[in-house]
């Protein structure tokens, strides 16, 4: 397995080397690390060898053009996305293209993954792989596919480390924890999150991860009265209860794009006595934001209104403009975008050399809208 993890020295060296041609504003500083403002995601695609090869080539190319953040999840493409990222990382390191210390690697656990392909009998697979060995109990499973118990997370974390071929994962997310709220009440949910946080703090101590967070879809975007609403302040307070102010709950992921702007425009979070946006409370708490669905799984890659191009100039395609919108939003750290082929990397990698739009100009887009 590849040893090491992203470091201040390594990521700074990446910026000075492979990122030397980047616009200065392309890179972001966080906890001493230097992260690209665009990251490669690995969610979509068929579960086949051809897509594996495409992802390996895409990750390799992304690392070469100034993108040093890679995101995956154990359940993406039945564990094949993690494995593709791992092969690409191993090969690039072996060739001397990058070092492990230069790359910020993130993945997620929570959803029960199949292994390589859909099994003929999913229920039997679940029973044989997880319930029989005691990795999870039926009563801990939500929706037939989601679990956050410490024993289950321990299994999933080790699977991810093996898939990625690394001893240490830089960012480990609890994947869509709000799904638990479809089956349990708030006190039970809090107890489950507390146990998960305790496990993850232990994983930090064991050198298996560096920091952790939550990767959500609905939770942080919902109104407070919604059944699956998540309060970032409450989660940060819970992390402090578990491990004090030096806790490692330091990053979250949620969808943000031209069609889903709630994180920036909707005041649905509490911060002290104030009601603020998700991005505002994250800034107060020192929590880094990685946005998912930056081009809405391709839906924003074409047909954008003319006004978008007017306020996000100097780009060639709507996909680039949609991505520029996300990375130019104050408070967004890294905009993740799925790139399952080199052509996607070449298109989205164009932004590496283009600075984000400064607020005085970017803000006019919202005024116009």
pLDDT in tens, 10-21: 999 999 999 999
Q: Count the Cβ atoms, other than its own, within 10 Å of residue 217.
A: 17
Query: What is the DSSP pairing of strand 33-36 with strand 27-30?
Result: antiparallel
Name the residue among 233, 325, 224, 219 with its Cα closest to residue 282.
Answer: 233
Given a cut of 90, whether residue 308 has pLDDT beyond it is: no
pLDDT digits (tens, 9 = 90+) for 281-302: 999 999 999 999 999 988 888 8
| The pLDDT of residue 298 | 81
Q: Which domain holds residue 50?
A: 8-368
User: Looking at the domain assignment, is residue 3 inside a domain?
Assistant: no
Q: Looking at residues 199-223, what average pLDDT do you find?
A: 98
Does 75 fall in a domain? Answer: yes
How far apart are alpha carbons 278 and 231 in whole angstroms?
Answer: 9
* Model pLDDT, residue 366: 78
Predicted local confidence at residue 281, as pLDDT: 97
Q: What angle do CA 221, 224, 228 make, to 5 degrees?
A: 65
Q: Tell me what percent of the residues of the chain surpass a pLDDT of 90.
A: 92
Percent of the chain with pLDDT over 70: 99
If one compares 305 and 353, the residue with the highest pLDDT of the two is: 353
Q: Is residue 226 part of a domain?
A: yes
Tell me what the mean pLDDT of segment 33-53 comes to.
97
d(CA 328, CA 337): 14
pLDDT in tens, 96-150: 999 999 999 999 999 999 999 999 999 999 999 999 999 999 999 999 999 999 9
> In this structure, is residue 1 part of a structural domain?
no
CB burial of 309-336 (b: ≥16 within 10 Å; e: otherwise) equals eebbeebeebbbbbbbbbbbbebbbbbb
Q: Tokens 């050198």 map to which residue?
A: 207
The pLDDT confidence band at residue 325, using thresholds 50, 70 and 90, is very high
Write out pLDDT tens, residues 154-177: 999 999 999 999 999 999 999 999
Residue 295 resides in a domain? yes
**CATH code for the domain of 16:** 3.20.20.100
pLDDT of residue 212: 98
Six-digit token string for 182? 């479809």
The answer to whether 349 touches 66, Cβ cutoff 8 Å, is yes
The pLDDT, as a whole number, for residue 368 is 64
Average pLDDT over every residue of 47-63: 98
Query: Of 42, 118, 49, whose CA–CA distance to 81 is shortest?
Result: 42
Count of the separate structural domains present in the chain: 1
Average pLDDT over residues 46-70: 98
Residue 90 within any structural domain of the chain: yes
How does the average pLDDT of the chain come out, rounded?
A: 96
Let me know if residue 115 belongs to a domain: yes
Q: Is the pLDDT of residue 363 over 80?
A: yes
């Amino acid at each position: 397995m590849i040893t090491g993890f992203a470091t201040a020295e390594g990521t700074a060296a990446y910026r000075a080397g492979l990122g030397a041609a980047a616009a200065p504003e392309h890179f972001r500083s966080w906890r001493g690390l230097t992260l690209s403002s665009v990251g490669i995601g690995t969610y979509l695609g068929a579960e086949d060898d051809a897509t594996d090869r495409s992802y390996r080539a895409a990750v390799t190319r992304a690392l070469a053009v100034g993108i040093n953040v890679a995101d995956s999840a154990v359940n993406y493409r039945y564990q094949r996305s993690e494995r593709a990222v791992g092969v690409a990382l191993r090969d690039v390191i072996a060739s001397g293209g990058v070092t492990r210390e230069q790359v910020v690697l993130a993945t997620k656990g929570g959803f029960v993954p199949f292994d390589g392909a859909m099994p003929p009998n999913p229920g039997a697979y679940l029973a044989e792989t997880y319930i029989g060995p005691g990795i999870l109990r039926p009563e801990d499973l939500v929706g037939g596919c989601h679990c956050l118990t410490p024993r289950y997370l321990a299994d999933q974390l080790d699977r991810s480390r093996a898939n990625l071929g690394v001893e240490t994962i830089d960012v480990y997310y609890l994947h869509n924890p709000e799904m638990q709220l479809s089956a349990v009440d708030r006190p039970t949910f809090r107890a489950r999150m507390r146990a998960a946080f305790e496990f993850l703090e232990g994983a930090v101590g064991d050198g298996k991860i560096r920091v952790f967070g939550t990767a959500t879809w609905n939770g942080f975007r919902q109104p407070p009265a919604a059944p699956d609403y998540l309060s970032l302040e409450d989660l940060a307070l819970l992390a402090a209860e578990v491990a004090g102010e030096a806790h490692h709950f330091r990053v979250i992921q949620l969808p943000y794009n031209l069609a889903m702007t709630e994180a920036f425009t909707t005041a649905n979070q509490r911060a002290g006595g104030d009601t603020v946006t998700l991005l505002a409370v994250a800034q107060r708490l020192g929590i880094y934001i990685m946005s998912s669905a930056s081009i809405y799984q391709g839906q924003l890659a074409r047909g954008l209104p003319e006004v978008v191009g007017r306020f996000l100039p100097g780009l060639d395609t709507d996909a680039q403009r949609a991505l520029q919108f996300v990375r130019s939003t104050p408070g967004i750290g890294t905009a993740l975008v799925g790139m399952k082929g080199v052509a996607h990397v070449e298109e989205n990698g164009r932004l590496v050399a283009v600075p984000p739009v400064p607020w005085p100009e970017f803000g006019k887009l919202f005024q116009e809208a």
